[in-house]
Amino acid sequence: MDYLEPMTAAVRAAANIYRSAKNDLHIEVKGEDKNNLVTAYDKQIQDFLYKKLSAAFPGCAFLGEEGGGKIEVPMGLCFIIDPIDGTTNFIRNFEHSAISVGLAVDRKMVAGVVYDVDKDNLYAAQRGCGATLNGRAIHANRSDLDHSLLLFGSCPYERELAHRTFQMVEKAYTRVLEIRRTGSAALDICYVASGKADLYFELILRPWDYAAAVVIVEEAGGVICTTENQPMPIDQIVGVRCGNGKNLAEFDALVQNL
């Protein structure tokens, strides 16, 4: 079954809400963390996607960043959605955010769409069909650590992980080609998938941060795993690393004692 066509259509339609954003974003703080922000557009995009995907896939379930409640993926079809991955970038007009939609079937990730609306770059993949960027096949690089462009996330909602994160970044800086921090986990993973970058890590992510991009990077020939070198789960909060087999092994050896 072709899941990507209706998923892509829904995401492209939702992008019109993203583009309609004005200065008054109705910004709110989620919970007690002043850095965990949400806008009216996050909510509108998520609601729109729920409606469109429910029409295309009657009876499907959803796990969304703005849904609240328990993180759980049931059997059957379940869409895992981050309506705006990189909300702080979106608020500041930094132009590096994405609409991210992953599809699990019987608790296995089978398809993913990540749309960088500002650059009009749409990353997509379905199991067994390869990964694409705007319809063209993409492939992860085979760079070793010394020639890798490293991306990382700084766990902005878990500041207690900052010390270890920046220890790892400092250690890696002595080896890698260069380092970047962009503010969108889904796009970072897609950048590895497309060869724009070679390696990415973050010490804690939630399912909507990584679900769609997992399929994309794996279909592009990349490797993604938890920071404990375990296969990626579907509904757990975990640390994430992705790259290729060679540079991941070298990176693990470099930072294993930190």
Kindly give the residue spans of alpha helices, DSSP state H, lying in 101-158.
Answer: none
Pairing of strands 28-29, 37-38: antiparallel
Determine whether 226 is an active site residue: no
Place of tokens 């694409």: 132
Q: Detail the DSSP E strand segments found in the chain.
A: 28-29, 37-38, 61-64, 77-85, 98-105, 108-116, 121-126, 131-133, 136-137, 149-152, 178-180, 199-205, 223-226, 238-243
Of 114, 37, 51, residue with least CA distance to 82: 114
Of 36, 3, 37, 64, residue with least CA distance to 208: 64
Per annotation, catalytic residue among 42, 66, 82, 198: 82
The SS3 assignment for 132 reads: strand
Determine whether 252 is an active site residue: no
Per annotation, catalytic residue among 80, 84, 99, 216: 84
Per annotation, catalytic residue among 42, 209, 218, 250: 209
Determine whether 118 is an active site residue: no
Of 156, 90, 125, 118, residue with least CA distance to 8: 125
Of 61, 78, 109, residue with least CA distance to 210: 109
Residues 6+ apart with CB under 8 A from 117: 15, 18, 19, 97, 98, 99
Q: What span, in angstroms and rounded, lies between the C-alpha atoms of 151 and 154?
A: 10
Residue 76: count of CB within 10 angstroms of its CB = 13
Per annotation, catalytic residue among 45, 81, 87, 99: 87
Per annotation, catalytic residue among 39, 42, 45, 65: 65
Q: What span, in angstroms and rounded, lies between the C-alpha atoms of 208 and 257?
A: 29
Per annotation, catalytic residue among 42, 66, 85, 116: 85
Determine whether 65 is an active site residue: yes
Catalytic (active-site) positions:
65, 82, 84-85, 87, 209
